[in-house]
Amino acid sequence: MSVADVPPTEASREALAQLLLGIADDEFVIGFWDSEWTGIAPMLEEDVATSSISQDEIGHARALYELLAELTGDDADAIAFGREPDAYRHAALMNHPRTDWAFTIARRYLYEIADAVRLEALARSSYAPLAQLAAKMRREERYHLMHLDTWLRRLAADDNGTERLAAALRGLWTDALAIFAPIADEALLVQRGELPEPMAALRARWLEQVTPVMAELGLPGPTPEDLSAGIDDGRTRRTDDFRWLHGEFTMVAASERGATW
């Protein structure tokens, strides 16, 4: 099915906007959380790496906000910095603070695999601007994934690291599954090929990839309760931790609304 077969409607445009907003907010918020490691990462090389990865993610968010702005006639900066915390649509996985290094690596590993699965699908989107951007982003993201895979295995190589990773992962599975929370009118997006596969199919592929790695490293995978937990509010639930971060990243924009330089 392609765009040509099913004409756009008000509902399909709104669904596409929701899809773009969710992905953009995921990248934006994880980019800001992890940028907090700049200067205090476990080693100098990691200061550079985390900062660079965070800068990539915020850059991806910017490009996605601009796609969204073209679609809705809004301003990309206003979307990024002008909303109240409750209007952000990142997955609950990004509600948590950076916590310790193992937490950051555990969260980020789950996210990187999800992002890779999502981008692989979106590179086949019938919405050409999104397919083109996704193809470009994938080339950068493979560096992130390789880096996070290295760190996960490195931390899991001793008991202390394994315990810390396990503690982080146990509380993260439902929030990570929220990355694939269904969106309103998703069927329309799939029908039009803008989202080439339903979120449920992407979720299944993500689980196929992350679960064996957890088993291999002796880390806790998702429990049956995690897998059956409701995630309909997975992109709308917000926390005080996120409200704090929102205050940080909107501080400059809020000090002089509409300012330019």
Partner 1 sequence: MVAAADPRQAVIWAALDEIPDPEIPAISVVELGVIGGFSFEPNGQGGERLTVDLLPTFVGCPAIDMMRHQVGERLRGLQLADEVDVRLSFVVPWTSDRISPEGREKLRASGFAPPAPILVGAPSVPDGELLTMASVVTCPYCGSRNTTLENPFGPTLCRAIYHCANCRQPFEQFKAV
Interacting residues toward partner 1 by CB under 8 A: 45, 48-49, 51-53, 55-60, 62-63, 116, 123, 129, 132-133, 135-140, 142-143, 145-147
Output the six-digit token pair for 76. Answer: 């990309």
- Closest distance between partner 1 and the C-beta of residue 72, in Å? 19
Instruction: Decide whether 47 or 186 has the Cβ nearer to partner 1.
Output: 47
CB closer to partner 1 out of 59 and 221: 59
> Residue 116 Cβ, how far from partner 1 at the closest point, in Å?
8
Sign of CA dihedral 118, 63, 84, 14: negative
Least distance (Å) from partner 1 to the CB of residue 202? Answer: 17
Handedness of CA 43, 45, 47, 53 (dihedral sign): negative
Helix axes 199-217, 128-155, angle to 10 degrees: 20
Between the CA of residue 149 and those of 72, 129, 142, what are the distances in Å? 37, 30, 10
Cβ closer to partner 1: 123 or 166?
A: 123
By beta-carbon proximity to partner 1, the closer residue of 19 and 183 is 19
Q: How far is the CB of 28 from partner 1 (least distance, A)?
A: 11
Closest to 27 (Cα-Cα) out of 99, 94, 92, 81: 94
